[in-house]
Amino acid sequence: MLDRKVLEAAATWYVQLNAALPSQADRLGWERWMAQDARHAQAWARVQKLQQQLGVLPCDVALPTLAGARARRRAVVKVLGLLLVTSATGLGLHASEPWPARLAQLRTGKGERRLVQLADGGRMTLNTDSAVDVSYTEQLREVHLYHGEILIETAHDPAGRAFIVHTAQGSIRALGTRFVVRGGAEYCQVRVQEHAVEMRPALAPQHMLRLGAGQQADFDRQQLGQPQSLAPDSDAWVHGMLSVPDWPLHALVTELQRYRPGVLSCSEAVANLRVTGAFRLDDTDIILQNLASSLPIRVRYLTRYWVRIEAA
């Protein structure tokens, strides 16, 4: 078990490198510290995994600058507290993922896609970072999406069994169709390319929304959203592409974070720059290079898995 002194040093280096533009001396000092002891590398790996799992560490740590030693010390204490909690509880850094998701039959990692042939002749494509179970019985064809995104292409079933996708927010019944389901922590989004689906929230199953081809809608555990027109190229990810029609940069960064391990963030100074284009998802580093060549930004790599976009 890593002791408090080592974890505090890792937290201090995190704040030092992330809260201000690090100097060459800072980088060299961090590298020397990392090389001094195997426990230092273990502690740094815990910081990186913690940030990857939580999305962000305390918000004031992520500011471009922290004025004064007192502010920096507060930031270090916050990061250290999170590290000590995860260490003391023994829950691990992936404790937020439910056990069914961890044990799911079908999984993809960050940046991975997977095509699965279903037993009835249908097909399912898993997008990045997805966890799915498939259960076919004499009465039902069921898919459980624990997290991530899937494209379903159903097949005719001679037995007439219903095809239902379950998420944490509710269920989606296919009506002979091609559709995408994206499950999040708070809401689920459904996008219909062909035919139709019926959506029901988990806590209000008596309410139903029918979506037709060319429509999309969100819903949570209690209520259904309003149908909207399907966004252009909304299933481009199946072909390894991301279509961006005039997005703010922070929205693109959030989307790219789904496809690459580690941490990707951008400063508030560039968050609202507008981006339009089509990008290949198989190499997000090339996307970042293209952005740097077309926008007034620079991409700062603290490590391969810790990247921040800032004003040029």
DSSP state of 193: E
* Apex 243 CA angle, 184 and 238, nearest 5: 65
Q: Where in the chain is the domain with CATH 3.55.50.30?
A: 240-311
pLDDT at 20: 58
| pLDDT at residue 38 in the model | 83
The structure tokens 């100097």 sit at 23
Q: Pick from 73, 183, 82, 67: which is nearest to 132 by CA?
A: 183
Give the pTM.
Answer: 0.71
CATH class assigned to 240-311: alpha beta
Predicted local distance difference test score (pLDDT) of residue 22? 67
The two structure tokens encoding residue 282: 């198989």
Put residue 192 in one of left, alpha, beta given phi > 0 → left and psi -120 to 50 → alpha.
Answer: beta
Q: Which fold has domain 99-229?
A: Jelly Rolls (2.60.120)
Per-residue pLDDT at 214: 96
Portions of the chain given CATH number 2.60.120.1440: 99-229
The length of the chain in residues reads: 312
N-terminal to C-terminal alpha carbon distance within the chain: 41
**Cα 46 from Cα 11, distance rounded (Å):** 10
b/e 94-128 (16+ beta carbons within 10 angstroms → b): eeeeeeebeebebbbeebebbeeebeeebebbbbb
- According to the model, what pLDDT value does residue 299 have? 95
Tokens of 196: 């139709």
Please report the pLDDT score of residue 168 as a whole number. Answer: 93
Residue type for 80, please?
Answer: L
What is the spatial distance between Cα 188 and Cα 203, in angstroms, rounded to a whole number?
14
Q: Cα dihedral sign for 34, 40, 46, 47?
A: negative
pLDDT value of position 87: 59
Instruction: Please report the pLDDT score of residue 41 as a whole number.
Output: 83
Instruction: Walk along the chain (312 residues) and give the pLDDT tens digit of each residue.
Output: 678 888 889 888 888 877 656 677 887 888 889 888 888 888 888 887 776 555 445 444 444 444 567 777 877 887 777 777 665 544 444 445 666 777 788 999 889 999 999 999 999 999 999 999 999 999 999 999 999 999 999 999 999 999 999 999 999 999 989 999 999 888 999 999 999 999 999 999 999 999 999 999 999 999 999 999 998 888 999 999 999 999 999 999 999 999 988 788 899 999 999 999 999 999 999 999 999 999 999 999 877 777 889 999
